[in-house]
Structure 1
Amino acid sequence: MGRKPTVNLNLPKGMRRRRRGDRVYYYLDIGERPRRELALGSDYPLAVKKWAELQLEKVPRNARPTFCDAATRYLAEVVPTKAPKTQDENIRQMETLQEFFGNPPAPLDDIWPVHIQQFLEWRKDVPVAANREKSLFSHVWNMARVWGYTNQPNPCTGVKGASETGRDIYVEREVFQAVYDEACQPLRFLMQLLYLTGQRPTDVVTRELKRHLATRTDGKQELIFKQGKTSKKLRVLVIGELLVVVEMVLIWKEGRPNSSPYLLVNEQGRRLSRSSLVRWFRDARLAAREKHPELDEEIAQFQLRDLRAKAGTDKADLAGDVRQAQRQLGHSSVTMTETYIRNRKGDTITPTR
């Protein structure tokens, strides 16, 4: 009787694992003497599938493609093609999915809609995150079908996502001013630019000056944005209050020799980092709450991203046309803009008489 295997216990009978340099390949020992093996490839799930086809046997449970197999390939091949911020989000989301579907590793063919519902129940305390993770699971599953890991329908189909409430914060002028007064100068510049341009914090902070600021043929300047989330290109004319702020930013940079080529820099002339912004804004908000207890709740809810919604809401009010806000925000439709700014400030109406 042959020796009982002590390694590669996930391999079905007759399947061999061989390392060639930095890669691992799988083979089928067809049982002849001298030994002869058929190559099954380097992708473990597909190798097991080929083994089953050649052996005409049912794949053992511990050798069937699992969610972790699909997730590993997805992280290696699909995630790197996404925007940097999306990559970071996907990596965090995948850790949560693998904690639920990978302990122990669940074979793809054994995952059903009821398990997706159980996952949503497990994550009921964070409904927004749960829905994003469910969407990522769905995409991983669709890619697993493309790769041949499973032929089963997507178990997310027909499973309603967790109920979530959209953010409806409108930053009133006094709340903005309270935090602005306590902020350091780089954060003040950022707050002004976020409001005046209506762009996302990432799109303002991570763009280089030479790609941000351009001079038109008529002599006017414009700030050029390519939105990281949608790749939408926008050109914001540098006029009015925005012109004043941009000039102040440029003077600030001139006072810091050898400063970073990015539009916004810190006291040392280096590019603003996410961790610094988070700390500065947290400290400014805390100081503002202590100084203005009457605005404590409103200030506590204020986040930098809310300035984009404030910009769109104020733009629609001042212009009297939501389409102006749509263009500023870079939304693909008026409906999207209306949904985005609805209930932020409330409708203005006239009295009955």
Structure 2
Amino acid sequence: MGRKPTKNLHLPPGMRARVQKSGKIYYYFDQGGRPRTEIPLGGDYILALQEYVKKQEIIGPGAGAKFGDVIAKYEAEVLHTHGAKTIQTNKSDLKHLKAFFADAPLSQVRPMHIKQFLTKHADKPTTANRCKRLFSALWNRARGWGYTDAENPCTGIMGHELEKREVYITDAVFHAVRAHASAQLVDALDLAYLTGQRPGDTTEMHEDHIDGEWLLVEQGKTGKRLRMMITGELAELLARIAARKVGCKESSGYLLVNASGRRMTRDALRYQYEKARGLAANGNPELSEAIKKMWFYDLRAKAADDSADERGEQAASDLLGHDSVKTTRRHYLRRGKIVPPTK
């Protein structure tokens, strides 16, 4: 797909980074030609990207736009509108797309190149499939921006076939890990299970989200809003969290806090969880293999399965914030349907 740059791979085509004597980095737009002309874009990376996009506005269908130009416009104008987790994932995936497609003229990208990308990253099929979806989304935006009129090259190209995760967290496994968890992690485990929400959404839950008899949830991934009834064990958990926070040195409105009272970060949650899981595996040899297979994210599937068993699949779908029971059934229900025998 053309000659690949060897440094500053995060920059779109034609954008250069120059280190000044002071050590500060300034960015330039290389117009090419002889003699070479470079337009200063400033020392702020984000603002420089925005200026770069302005310089590229004249690019239209058939005018030599490259996929790197599309990425640059996306980074400057769209990326920041997403949730924090999506931004983090997109940035990681864009590195792969830049390395393979940045210098590729849109007029020359073909379905075979998408297949080549998937093949190159066959050792990480989940990442490869996610990158393909991002490429497809960017291509559709490029069509809307007038960068190309060509059909989406991802059309008809199948991603890697992935095995569905079938791990169901039994109560025994859950309580084994919970027994080795700190008080803060116990709160996090219980909150994730009782609400059925993603780990990132539980760390965002705040006292301000408690509105009388409701816990207001806005999912970071989809923007879906839920009003969760504060009853039963969830009510007990929220009361327990409030009581524990009273004794902390510092004050935070977030529901999940560390021992000092500061907000629990995702990294801290991951560290504490992996530590507790390791202790649980060592302390419960008969459950060791099952414990090692448990991911924190599996609590969302456990919440779905347990809710489906007690109140039906629609209740599980509602808890997870899905528009369709099919989504819940396809990705989260792992135990199988309860059925009576023939006689």
The 1:44–1:287 alpha-carbon spacing in structure 2 relative to 1, beyond 3 Å, is same
- CA deviations 1:208-239 (Å, max 9, x no partner) are 2122x221xxxxx3221111122222122222
Between 1:132-141 and 1:293-302, the stretch displaced more is 293-302
Q: State the alpha-carbon separation in 2 of the partners of residues 137 and 11 from structure 1.
A: 27
Could you tell me how far 1:21 is from its partner in structure 2? 7.6
The 1:267–1:17 alpha-carbon spacing in structure 2 relative to 1, beyond 3 Å, is closer
State the number of aligned residues: 309
SS in 2 for 1:316: helix
Could you tell me how far 1:9 is from its partner in structure 2? 7.8
Q: State the alpha-carbon separation in 1 of the partners of residues 33 and 133 from structure 2.
A: 33
Q: State the alpha-carbon separation in 1 of the partners of residues 307 and 267 from structure 2.
A: 30
SS in 1 for 2:214: strand
- Asked whether the equivalents of residues 195 and 310 of structure 1 are also in contact (C-alpha less than 8 Å), the reply is yes
Q: State the alpha-carbon separation in 1 of the partners of residues 287 and 42 from structure 2.
A: 64
Question: What TM-score do the two structures reach when normalised by structure 1?
Answer: 0.80
The 1:20–1:298 alpha-carbon spacing in structure 2 relative to 1, beyond 3 Å, is closer
Q: State the alpha-carbon separation in 2 of the partners of residues 20 and 301 from structure 1.
A: 49
Could you tell me how far 1:108 is from its partner in structure 2? 1.7
Alignment of 1:100-115 (within 5 A): 100-102=100-102, 105-115=103-113
Mapped pair 1:241 → 2:241: no
Q: State the alpha-carbon separation in 2 of the partners of residues 229 and 42 from structure 1.
A: 30
Letter in 2 for 1:157: T
Letter in 2 for 1:100: F
The 1:297–1:65 alpha-carbon spacing in structure 2 relative to 1, beyond 3 Å, is same
Q: 2:335 aligns with which of 319, 341, 345?
A: 345
Unaligned 5+ segments in structure 1 are: 1-6, 25-40, 53-58, 216-220
Letter in 2 for 1:350: P
- Asked whether the equivalents of residues 183 and 281 of structure 1 are also in contact (C-alpha less than 8 Å), the reply is yes
The 1:121–1:240 alpha-carbon spacing in structure 2 relative to 1, beyond 3 Å, is same
Between 1:127-136 and 1:161-170, the stretch displaced more is 161-170
What CA RMSD, in Å, does the superposition of the two structures yield over aligned residues?
A: 2.7
The 1:330–1:8 alpha-carbon spacing in structure 2 relative to 1, beyond 3 Å, is closer
SS in 1 for 2:335: coil
Question: What TM-score do the two structures reach when normalised by structure 2?
Answer: 0.82
Alignment of 1:1-353 (within 5 A): 11=32, 18-19=39-40, 42-44=54-56, 46=58, 64-102=64-102, 105-211=103-209, 213-215=210-212, 221-319=213-311, 321-342=312-333, 344-353=334-343
- Asked whether the equivalents of residues 289 and 299 of structure 1 are also in contact (C-alpha less than 8 Å), the reply is yes
- Asked whether the equivalents of residues 285 and 299 of structure 1 are also in contact (C-alpha less than 8 Å), the reply is yes
Q: State the alpha-carbon separation in 2 of the partners of residues 196 and 208 from structure 1.
A: 16
Percent of pairs with identical residues = 38
